[in-house]
């Protein structure tokens, strides 16, 4: 009996330890203010610039250049723009209204979304700085007795003005608390603990992850379920590389009850911790070893002697070069860019380009059909909250010296506000690229050489969704181009294997991936990131045009040429006509134009979508994950604007059946010619892991562009000035100073 009591006590201690560990990892830290002197030290120029050439700045300028977001006074912040996110005081006000309204006043519930209910688009478009703000409202999704409640609270009247109960199949985004408690709940089950101990893993070394399970039938209906898989932390912080293969817990997320334990593949060893640590403090210790060399690079920084060229007004309005836009953090989308306008350099007119753009959904299906893997088909925005997983950015490494940082103000499961510090950074980038150039050949005798540097403005967020890290950049260029770029880094999700060399793998065995290290397989998977792009080119009524490049043969009497390419334009009249799959040997351009506005020479003004490297899903359309992720069936969709259709996987993604997705909306085939339309673009990656991805991945990136197409009458950066030597300081290495 004493032994059993001791074990119970040990289990409770471990549960408390893990709860504290994962709470520190997942839950927001308290809002703090750092020491002013430390900020000054971090914002001064680096020591390799001589004092003669160092640009001195006043203390308050240094503080503003440091961009440290904890200088922001969130408690006293008020909204200045119709799209500004809810402030701390507004969240507290809405929370008090909600907690005093039935049925929430007398029942236990949890909040899963708490954001600004944006005003009607027409009101936002009419609003000018200095005008009164439209009525401020909050949109809330709460779970009560297993049902999803959708509410709108008006801040002015302090009343609940909408209260609907969802009939959709899915559930709202998991809260951070859902994920945290799901990781330690299995420890309350004796059978689970016995399995862990029997595999030689100490409970104190255990790390577990909450894994969304998708939808595969009635067995997974009528309650919120989650699967939990665990790893060993012994000897490494990179526990992802040490999976306890074959052990999967099915858990009721609301009751914390273990529904089922699948305990297979006990013969597969837990991979060793050797060479899995990626921290610089640990990697640098090996630098003295003759067989281990560090990469000899000196620190680098781009200096701005006159300070940055961008301004951020009222906390969220960004002004840079000819661009102006509204920027805000969002718990589901991560970053939302709104009201993007460009000033025409010829006329000085401020022209609308994009009303709203953001990451709508991420779909990550793994390609292993076995019991412990088939359900790993994540939707990182709708299930986990892309913005909820955004980690504080690391100055000088995530973002350069003069970046400005923006915090996210979110609400926890109980409605209390908290601050996610340094969630977004804004900075100018110059990487030695060229904006435009021309040099005349010496044979002309003209001696002309004109070059302009390409300086761009970047808005960046990095989300760490468990093992994977996503870096999302919105890059604005002076020529009117917007580049949306996604980088993938972080750590692979791997499975254990009994093999430590490929020569041990029988020909008939399917690994569903690549052997990365001894007993470690990186499983093949895809990444799809679908973007919502509400383009408003010089107004809301736009059209989508597919410009096909068609081969046309020539006759012998017409030309010595045998064939040429011609551009043939086809206006999409309905949504189905705008469903686009890319084809290498059927090339086309994809334009969004305003047919009512013409350029100086008569072309409709517009923007075109310019793809870069991407991937397309080739899963069976009726495969349950692909049915839910049907928004990845095409690379481009165009839908009629509907403010309720923003999330490509549906409003309620968790355990949904896929009945409310972008594919369903598009199949309604609404008219889209000369209408207010939304463009959806899916950026894709096929990932066959390789050894270089172990133990942590070098970043791989892809992007797409929104590029002016007859939007400007001439080159919009013709008047851009070149860099001159006298405008820049000369910094020399300290040894030669």
Catalytic residues: 380, 468
Nearest CA to 472 among 526, 416, 423, 428? 423
**Following DSSP, what letter does each residue of 259-318 receive, concatenated?**
EEEEE--TTSPPPP-TT----HHHHGGGGGSTT-------------TT--S-EEETTTEE
Instruction: Answer for the pair 716, 345: CB distance below 8 angstroms, yes or no.
Output: yes
CA geometry: angle 547, 549, 554, nearest 5 deg: 140
Chain centroid offset of residue 515 CA: 29
Chain centroid offset of residue 640 CA: 24
Residue 517 corresponds to which tokens in the numbers above?
A: 């290290």
**CA-CA distance, 365 to 378, in Å (whole number)?**
6
Chain centroid offset of residue 107 CA: 35
CA geometry: angle 390, 391, 395, nearest 5 deg: 125
Cβ neighbour number for residue 142 with a 10 Å cutoff: 21
CA geometry: angle 645, 98, 143, nearest 5 deg: 55
Cβ-Cβ contacts under 8 Å for 276 (sequence gap 6 or more): 236, 238, 241, 242, 695
Q: What DSSP element (H or E) covers 626?
A: helix 624-628
**CA-CA distance, 536 to 675, in Å (whole number)?**
10
**CA-CA distance, 18 to 200, in Å (whole number)?**
18
**CA-CA distance, 432 to 374, in Å (whole number)?**
45
Helices (H) and strands (E) in the chain, counts: 10, 32
Please, how many CA atoms are within 13 Å of residue 435, restricted to the half-sphere of its CB?
24
Nearest-10 crossing angle of helices 2-26, 176-184: 150
Report CA-CA distances (Å) from 145 to 150, 161, 218, 257.
14, 21, 19, 16
**CA-CA distance, 353 to 449, in Å (whole number)?**
33
CA geometry: angle 358, 361, 364, nearest 5 deg: 140
Cβ neighbour number for residue 726 with a 10 Å cutoff: 4
**CA-CA distance, 396 to 49, in Å (whole number)?**
17
Cβ-Cβ contacts under 8 Å for 703 (sequence gap 6 or more): 473, 483, 484, 485, 486, 612, 683
User: In sequence order, what E strands does 604-696 have?
Assistant: 604-611, 636-640, 675-687
Report CA-CA distances (Å) from 689 to 363, 371, 494.
18, 21, 10
Chain centroid offset of residue 34 CA: 28
Instruction: Answer for the pair 488, 699: CB distance below 8 angstroms, yes or no.
Output: yes
Peptide bond into 471 cis (omega under 30): no
């Amino acid at each position: 009996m004493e032994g059993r009591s001791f074990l119970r006590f040990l289990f409770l201690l471990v549960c408390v330890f893990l709860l504290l560990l994962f709470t520190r990892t997942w839950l927001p830290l308290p809002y703090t203010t750092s020491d002013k002197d430390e900020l000054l030290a971090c914002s001064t120029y680096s020591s390799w610039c001589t004092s003669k050439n160092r640009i001195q700045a006043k203390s308050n300028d240094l503080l503003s250049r440091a961009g440290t977001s904890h200088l922001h006074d969130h408690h006293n912040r008020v909204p200045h723009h119709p799209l500004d996110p809810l402030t701390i005081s507004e969240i507290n006000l809405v929370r008090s209204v909600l907690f005093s309204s039935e049925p929430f006043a007398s029942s236990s519930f949890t909040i899963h979304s708490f954001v600004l209910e944006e005003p009607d688009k027409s009101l936002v478009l009419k609003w000018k700085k200095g005008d009164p703000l439209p009525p401020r409202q909050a949109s809330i999704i709460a779970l009560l007795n297993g049902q999803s409640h959708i509410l709108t609270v008006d801040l002015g009247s302090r009343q609940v003005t909408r209260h609907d109960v969802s009939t959709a199949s899915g559930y709202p985004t998991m809260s951070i608390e859902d994920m945290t408690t799901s990781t330690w709940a299995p420890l309350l089950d004796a059978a689970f603990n016995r399995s862990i101990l029997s595999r030689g893993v100490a409970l104190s070394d255990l790390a577990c992850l909450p894994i969304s399970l998708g939808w595969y039938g009635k067995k997974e209906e009528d309650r919120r379920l989650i699967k939990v898989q665990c790893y060993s932390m012994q000897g490494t912080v990179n526990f992802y590389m040490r999976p306890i293969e074959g052990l999967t817990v099915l858990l009721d997320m609301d009751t914390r009850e273990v529904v089922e334990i699948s305990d297979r593949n006990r013969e597969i060893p837990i991979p060793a911790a050797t060479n899995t640590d990626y921290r610089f403090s640990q990697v640098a210790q090996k630098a003295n070893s003759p067989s281990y060399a560090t990469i000899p690079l000196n620190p680098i920084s781009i200096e701005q002697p006159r300070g940055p060229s961008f301004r951020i007004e009222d906390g969220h309005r960004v002004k840079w070069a000819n661009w102006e836009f509204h920027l805000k953090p969002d718990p589901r989308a991560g970053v939302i860019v709104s009201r993007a306008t460009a000033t025409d350099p010829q006329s000085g007119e401020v022209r609308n380009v994009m009303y709203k753009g953001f990451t709508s959904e991420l779909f990550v299906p793994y390609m292993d059909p076995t019991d412990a893997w088939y359900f790993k088909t994540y939707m990182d925005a709708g299930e986990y909250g892309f913005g909820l997983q955004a980690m504080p950015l690391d100055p000088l490494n995530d973002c350069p010296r003069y970046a400005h940082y923006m915090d996210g103000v979110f609400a926890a499961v109980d409605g209390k506000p908290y601050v996610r510090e340094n969630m977004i950074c804004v900075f100018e980038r110059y990487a030695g690229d060229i904006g435009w150039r021309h040099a005349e050949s010496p044979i002309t005798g003209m001696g002309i050489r004109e070059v302009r540097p390409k300086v761009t403005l970047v808005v960046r967020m990095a989300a760490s969704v468990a093992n994977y890290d996503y870096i999302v950049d919105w890059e604005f260029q002076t020529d009117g181009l917007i580049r949306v770029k996604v980088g993938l880094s972080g750590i692979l999700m791997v499975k254990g294997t009994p093999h430590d060399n490929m020569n041990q793998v029988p020909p008939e065995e399917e690994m569903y991936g690549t052997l990365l290290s001894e007993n470690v397989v990186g499983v093949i998977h895809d990444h799809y990131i679908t973007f919502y792009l509400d383009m408003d080119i010089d107004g809301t009524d736009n059209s989508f045009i597919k410009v096909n490049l068609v081969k046309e043969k020539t006759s012998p009497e017409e030309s010595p040429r045998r064939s040429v390419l011609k551009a043939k334009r086809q206006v999409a009249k309905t949504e189905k006509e705008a469903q686009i799959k890319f084809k290498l040997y059927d090339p086309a351009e994809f334009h969004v134009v305003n047919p009512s506005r013409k350029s100086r020479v008569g072309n409709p003004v517009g923007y075109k979508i310019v793809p870069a490297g991407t991937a397309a899903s080739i899963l069976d359309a009726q495969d349950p994950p692909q049915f839910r992720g049907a928004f990845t069936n095409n690379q481009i969709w165009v839908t009629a604007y509907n403010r309720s259709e923003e999330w490509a996987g549906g409003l309620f993604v968790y355990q949904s059946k896929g009945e409310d997705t972008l594919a369903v909306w598009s199949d309604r085939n609404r008219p889209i010619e000369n209408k207010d339309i939304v463009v959806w673009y899916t950026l894709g990656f096929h990932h066959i892991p390789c050894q270089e991805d172990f133990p942590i991945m070098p970043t791989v990136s892809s992007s797409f562009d929104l590029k002016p197409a007859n939007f400007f009458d001439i080159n919009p950066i013709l008047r851009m000035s070149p860099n001159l030597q006298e405008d820049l300081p000369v910094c020399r290495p300290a040894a030669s100073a």
